[in-house]
A and B are shown apart, each in its own frame.
Chain A
């Protein structure tokens, strides 16, 4: 079958790859109906996650139809329309049974790599390097879904493919930031990053009762989309002093919850950006953290900073003094989407959560390189590129 593959740093191609098959009794084989680019793919493409090899299939946010089930799959049947969480959960280790499903002990088949990088292994993820299990990604006509009873979720008839697609990753990631950031009624929430995850984190904060939600980015078209579709207030950091604005918006206190939805390739203005770029390119730091630094600085005393953006290694100039002296709670995680996806699908069915506006570009798999070019370089006001395998 053909698939969109990583071919080298900043090289994406369409290749013939082996067809996937059922390998475990708890697998399903899925026919992909829709699969979408994600900002965290760009870290792979840019070469900042050093465990990709030429030919690895990209993609981890997807929806499809069950084609074949393993003998011990109980929750799914051939023909079911399912959305699949990007992280694979066994559902039975201590982490999965305590809501920390992206930290699953059993789903990463190469556990010692992340043990060496981070002390302990995290769960497996589709199309996200050999460090996270080496699973083939979803930018293909078919994929294998391990532990399918815990990782795939049946989509209600009342939710379209276009909307349900984002229940795979963007929506649960955003929801987790607001939920584990402890957003409460009356809070003022600031979100750094106005991509799909940032917009859906903002929407989650509103649904959890936030009084005001402010989204920060540099792309006017994304900010306008967040105002129009999500109903968030916005700040363009290229035109506004973000810290001063947030201080006044919050009556001099600072946001109660700050959500960072950008990750290791953050942009910023001024000499900090040059400093971070030079250090990252020389590998004196692996991650550029301008947004997370600013989130920590802006957060009110005793507030919470939640890191949703993907970071890989070490970040320089981390403002630990601000975090410690202001008594902040700092949390982060890859998405524990399994806790949220059924609830999110119900909200989608009730039109409380809409996502289809995020798919600004829809292309065939054959256009994979073009789709990533539009997405990475923000061409034609791209927010996300969706690929259709057929």
Chain B
């Protein structure tokens, strides 16, 4: 099989799973009533940090990655069950106006999820782990889907 076609088929096969999953989510969304869609866009983003509330927010100060979002977010803390630490929740004061707006990357939830991840890492380990730079990857058209995935891989997620 031609190498390019072979790689494309392999990528497509794995992408197929994600496409089917995303289609199911879209179907679920469009068949839900308007109130449910709004609830989805207003949902809290939550992360569990393996520390106490006092260690996460000494003197009520948020960890820097969340503090930098300022008035963009509202936030809350609650103890996690068992010995799992503290749940930190945040959401935008102004949610995305539509799923389309969210999907193209302007959704503030992307920034919030990345800030939650960074805050967790900072509080638990003392620093934010940096990806390897410069990497050794050769940019090529075949690698574009991977680079797009990596670009969003610290945020809310890839569907």
Query: Footprint of B on A, CB under 8 Å?
Result: 3, 5, 8-9, 15, 17-18, 20, 23-26, 47-48, 50-57, 72, 90-94, 97, 105-107, 109-113, 115-117, 130, 133-136, 144, 146-147, 282-283, 286, 313-314
Contact = CB atoms under 8 A, between A and B. Distances in A.
Interface in B106-142: 117, 120-121, 124-127, 129-138, 140, 142
Interface stretch (B2-10, B37-45, B57-65): B2-10
A97 B136 contact: no
Contacts of B18: 116-117
Given A26-B125, A92-B125, A116-B157, A135 B7 contact: no
Contacts of A105: 120, 124
Interface stretch (B28-36, B67-75, B91-99, B148-156): B148-156
Contacts of A111: 117, 153-154
A104 B154 CA distance: 15
24 contacts: A9-B7, A15-B136, A18-B136, A23-B133, A47-B10, A50-B11, A50-B14, A51-B146, A53-B138, A55-B137, A56-B136, A90-B125, A93-B124, A93-B125, A109-B130, A111-B117, A111-B154, A112-B149, A112-B158, A144-B132, A283-B9, A283-B12, A286-B17, A314-B17
Contacts of A52: 146
Contacts of A93: 50, 120, 124-125
B105 interface: no
A112 B152 contact: yes
A130 B132 CA distance: 11
A116 B84 CA distance: 23
A24 B130 contact: yes
Contacts of B158: 112-113, 115-116
B156 A130 contact: no
A97 B157 CA distance: 26
Given A112-B149, A282-B13, 4 more contacts: A24-B127, A93-B125, A97-B50, A106-B125
B131 A283 contact: no
Interface of B: 3, 6-7, 9-18, 21, 48, 50, 83-85, 117, 120-121, 124-127, 129-138, 140, 142-143, 146-147, 149-150, 152-159
Contacts of A94: 48, 50, 83-85
A6 B117 CA distance: 30
A128 to B, nearest CB: 13
Contacts of A97: 50
Contacts of B121: 90, 106
Residue with the highest number of chain A CB atoms closer than 10 Å, among B117, B136, B146: B136
A57 B125 contact: no
A47 B7 CA distance: 8
